[in-house]
Amino acid sequence: MSSSQNQKSPLKILFVGAEVAPFAAVGGLSQVLSYLPKALLAKGLDVRVILPKYGLIDEKKYKIQMALSGLKVPTIPGDNGRFLICNMKTTQLRKTDPITYFVENMEYYEKRSNVYGYDDDHIRFALLSRATIEFLRKSSWVPNIIHANDWHTGYLINDLHAAYGDEKLKSIATLLTVHNLYQGRFDFRQASVIDFDDGKGPLPDFFDANFQKKNPLKRGVIYADAVNTVSENHAAEITTELFGEGLHNLFREIRVKLFGILNGIDHTSWNPETDTLIAANFSARTPGKRAENKTDLQKIFHLDQNLTIPLLGFVGRLHTQKGIELLRTVLPRVLAEGHAQFVMVGTGDRGYREFFEKLESQFPGQVGTHLMVNFTIPRKIYAGADMMLIPSKWEPGGIVAMEAMRYGSVPVAHATGGLADIVNDYNPVDRSGTGFTFSHFDETSFLLALTRAMETYRRPDEWKDLLIRCLRQDYSWNHAAEEYLKLYRHTLALHENAADGNG
């Protein structure tokens, strides 16, 4: 389809992914594949979504209906002898939601209680990918762009480019979003020379022992018309050995089609003016009301009632990626001086849980912890903590920084990945910036950034300006959708250029 044709009718986008909220939600991917399609739909695009119909998805609750039964999916493209049989089902929850399709298969989805974690995940997601193609071959609706997500859909891009020669499908451009660098069930970094996948040979049968040794993420990156990560800085980082998970050389090779776009947050749900989960509503126009949330947070965690002491917060997994080692070394020193409080919510590694339990017992009235999953307390911490500690070793997106600023909690963050794009370091000379960042991942750099934040906190007028600036940041999905719309147009141009023999 030419660019002029694209301007005459709504752009048609098909999202394909392993999880989509509210149907199946495990991690951040499900939120992206829920909110971004809605934001694009609101802009007039024709957007649809495909995911597996796992056993946990309630057909009655979501009013799911049959769209196509008996879809034959070959285990090798074009193979006339071996097929897996699927159904395609569909629903549309509201007019503001995209039409959603589900790939139904008893063995690989219906009988499974989890989205991930099975030894045959490579087959399960290859089935999702190839079933999508077979469905499109029979569908009267054909997208301009397939927006694939993570390694699970790398198979789709590989098949569409290398195995299917249908004229009907040749016009479809492909965009692969890399939310993380997981590459399937096989450890490709430790692969022998025999098991090395150059990404260009044909895929074997689903049930061939060598199938899981084919790297779906690598193949998706090679064959996609465009590739993006969830921040501009992370797109640059993955071209380095430190962050590229063995694919850095490939990312360097394809850098002309590699982009970065920050994810968004739902400004309707995450809204301190209307949020019923926090003690007091507030906005950039009424920042003084935020103090009630600090008092509420201190009460919940049995901390000393003191509005003048800086209250530090942490929300996240207790994992080495989140920079917990820096918290272990820096927090005891800061708390020992008695000039700060700390609250956190999160679960994860046992050793880290034990550290926070001990910290709470060492500093009664100063430290409060919640070491289990909770969906209410994070909002209370965002609304009540003066500063949000985000010392992540690496962080592709950095959603926590967006959520914290949305509620006026000033980030103290490692300038890595999306955090480097989200948090602008505070400059006291011209009072610019939205937080306090450190470039080197070490104890001294983190402590210096935190010290700068606490010193600024002691200057109330400056801190109020900084808080208001955080509250006014726009990280809505509407903004992200605008950036994706630009990338879709560029992806179509790249596809057309390749089709003309110039790629």
Q: What is the predicted pLDDT for the residue at 235?
A: 97
Q: What is the mean pLDDT of residues 237-261?
A: 96
Structural domain 12-264+478-499, CATH architecture:
3-Layer(aba) Sandwich (3.40)
Q: What is the predicted pLDDT for the residue at 55?
A: 94
- What are the tens digits of pLDDT across the range 330-383? 999 999 998 999 999 999 999 999 999 999 999 999 999 999 988 899 999 999
The residue among 101 and 165 whose pLDDT is bigger is 101
Q: What is the predicted pLDDT for the residue at 2?
A: 44
Q: What is the predicted pLDDT for the residue at 6?
A: 45
Quick one: pLDDT band at residue 5, thresholds 50, 70, 90? very low
Share of the chain residues as helix, strand and coil, in percent rounded to the nearest 5: 40, 20, 40
Q: What is the predicted pLDDT for the residue at 176?
A: 98
Distance CA 278, CA 297 (A): 9
Length of the chain: 503
- What are the tens digits of pLDDT across the range 292-325? 999 999 999 999 999 999 999 999 999 999 999 9
Quick one: pLDDT band at residue 113, thresholds 50, 70, 90? confident
Region 287-474: CATH code: 3.40.50.2000
Distance CA 417, CA 217 (A): 19
pLDDT at 253 over 70: yes
Q: What is the predicted pLDDT for the residue at 80?
A: 66
3-state secondary structure of 50: strand
Q: What is the predicted pLDDT for the residue at 340?
A: 97
pLDDT at 165 over 80: no
- What are the tens digits of pLDDT across the range 19-41? 999 999 998 899 999 999 999 99
- What are the tens digits of pLDDT across the range 92-109? 999 999 999 999 999 999
Q: What is the CA radius of gyration of the chain?
A: 24
Quick one: pLDDT band at residue 1, thresholds 50, 70, 90? very low
Q: Which two tokens stand for residue 43?
A: 């802009």
Q: What is the mean pLDDT of residues 113-138?
A: 96
Q: What is the predicted pLDDT for the residue at 164?
A: 81
pLDDT at 180 over 60: yes
3-state secondary structure of 276: coil
The percentage of residues in the chain with a pLDDT greater than 90, rounded to a whole number, is 88
Q: What is the mean pLDDT of residues 173-193?
A: 87
Domain boundaries, the chain: 12-264+478-499, 287-474
The DSSP bridge pattern shows strands 367-370 and 341-345 to be: parallel
Average pLDDT for the chain: 94
102 conformational bin, left if phi > 0, alpha if psi -120 to 50, beta if neither: beta
Phi/psi of residue 236, nearest 5 degrees: -75, -40
pLDDT at 239 over 90: yes
Distance CA 311, CA 341 (A): 5
Quick one: pLDDT band at residue 190, thresholds 50, 70, 90? confident
pLDDT at 191 over 80: no
Q: What is the predicted pLDDT for the residue at 501?
A: 67
Q: What is the predicted pLDDT for the residue at 353?
A: 96
Burial 201-223, CB ≥16 within 10 A → b, else e: eebeebeeeebbbbbbbbbbbbb
The residue among 80 and 83 whose pLDDT is bigger is 83
Q: What is the mean pLDDT of residues 229-247?
A: 95
- What are the tens digits of pLDDT across the range 150-159? 999 999 999 9
Q: Which two tokens stand for residue 424?
A: 């602008």
- What are the tens digits of pLDDT across the range 41-72? 999 999 999 999 999 999 999 999 999 999 99
